[in-house]
Amino acid sequence: MREVAALGWGMHPWGKFDETPLNDICRVAVKGALADSGIGWRQVEAVSAASSRFSGGKGWGLNGNDIVEDMGSTGIPVYNLSAGCAAGANAFNVGYMMVASGMHDIVLVAGGEKMPKGFIQTSGLDDETDPEYLRQRCIGLPGPGFWALLCRQRMEEYGTSEEDLADIAVKAHKLGAMNENARFRKEFSQEEVLKSPMVSYPLRLYEICPVSDGAAAVVLCSAEVARQHTKSPVWVASSTVATARFDDGIPRGLACAAAAGRTHHSEARIAVEKAMQTAGMQPGDLDLVELQDNTVYYELAFPEEWGLCKPGEAESLVRAGETMPGGKLPINPSGGFQSFGEATTAQGLFQICEVGWQLRGEAGGRQVPNATVGLAQSLGLGGNATATILKRD
C-alpha cells in the first residue's frame, strides 16, 4: 500500500440556506479543496462522494454525479456512499483506498447536505422489520430522547451533574465563536445553558446539536503528487470503518445480548482501535480529537471508552480546561457539532478538514499548539463508524 496525502481542504460554512441549491453549496467546498491543493478539476481521476436520501442527487443519493456534472463531465468514475452520519468519512476511506492501492493518483472526496427541519427521521417507509422505524413509531424516541437515556445512566454511574453537561456546551460555543465556518458563533455562560429549554431530561436545547446545511471536500493524492505541490504534506496515517457488535450496550436489530463491561457504540470503539493499531500509535500520541458530539454526553463517554482517559475522569478534565486547545487532551477545537449542527453526510469530512487545518497551523484562535497528530471520528445510522488519523512530519 502506498502513502496517501491529504493535499487540500474546502468547506462551505454550516447554516440553513433554504434558497441555495445543494449543488451551489457543494461547489464552494469542491472549488476550495481544489484551490487549496493546487489541483485542477481535469487532474481529478475519481470522485468518492457521501450521499443520502435527504438531499441526494436526482432523488437517488447520486451527489457525486451531480458534482461531476456541475464541475464538468470528464468521464471519471464516481462512487456514491451512504452510511448515515458516517458517510463523509466512509467516502474518505474509499478515496484513501483508491490512492493507497495505486488505482488512482488524485481523488476528490466530497459530501454535502441540506437537512429537512425537525428531528432526523428514518426512511419514511412503514417497514415493520426496520428497528429504527419501530423505535420512533412504537416508543416515540428520537435522537434527543435516546441520548438523554445514555446521559441518565452516566449520571447514576459517575455522578455527572447538570453543571458538568453545561460546561461542555460552554466550551464548545467558546471555540465555535472563533470558527468562521460554524453556524452558531455565540458564546454562552453556564447559567445561560442551564436556563435554555429542557428537551429531554437532563439535556437542554444548548446541549444538543440541531440539523444544518453544509458541505466539505478533501483532495487525496499519492506521495509523489503531494511532494510536487508542498514540502510538508499532511499524511493519512490510517482510515478505518467498522460496524457495531451484537453484544454492545445498545440494542441492535431485533435482539441484544449485552456483555459484561460493555461500552456503548462498539462500532466507534472498534474503528478507533483499528485506526490506532494501523497507524502504530497509542492514545498518548494524539494531539487533538474531533469526535461526534451530537450531544454533550459523547464528549464525556467516548474518550473514556477509547482509552484516552480513565472511566469517570472526563468531567474533571473539562472542569480543569484540559479539553481546550491548550490542554492535555484537546477535544473538538472546531466547536464540534454543538457549534456546527448536523449536516449528516458532510459531518465526517468537516471533522477531517478541521484536523487538517490544525496540523497545518491554520486554526487561528482555536489552534492546538504544535499539533502533529489528530483523530477524526464519526458515527452513523445502522451501526456505522469511521476513524481517521492524520499526521504531519
Range of the domain at 253: 159-190+234-392
340 Cβ contact partners less than 8 Å away, ≥ 6 residues apart: 14, 176, 181, 182, 183, 184, 209, 212, 214, 334, 347, 350
Q: What is the pLDDT of residues 309-320, one digit of tens each?
A: 999 999 999 999
Q: Do both 184 and 324 map to the same domain? A: yes
Name the nearest CA neighbour of 223 among 211, 215, 232. Answer: 232
195 domain residue, yes or no: no
Q: Residue 13: its pLDDT value, please?
A: 97
Q: Do both 84 and 167 map to the same domain? A: no
Q: What is the pLDDT of residues 16-70, one digit of tens each?
A: 999 999 999 999 999 999 999 999 999 999 999 998 767 667 767 889 999 999 9
The answer on pLDDT for 2 being more than 60 is: yes
93 domain residue, yes or no: yes
Q: Do both 221 and 263 map to the same domain? A: no
Q: Do both 48 and 168 map to the same domain? A: no
In this structure, which amino acid lies at residue 101? S
Average predicted confidence (pLDDT) for the chain: 91
Residue 236, strand partner residues: 390
Indicate the pTM of the whole model.
Answer: 0.93
Cell of 371: 499539533
Q: Do both 223 and 338 map to the same domain? A: no
| Chain-centroid distance, C-alpha 309 | 21
Q: What is the pLDDT of residues 212-241, one digit of tens each?
A: 999 999 999 999 999 999 999 999 999 999
Q: Residue 144: its pLDDT value, please?
A: 87
Q: Residue 121: its pLDDT value, please?
A: 59
112 domain residue, yes or no: yes
The answer on pLDDT for 120 being more than 50 is: yes
| Chain-centroid distance, C-alpha 36 | 21
123 domain residue, yes or no: no
* Number of domains making up the chain: 2
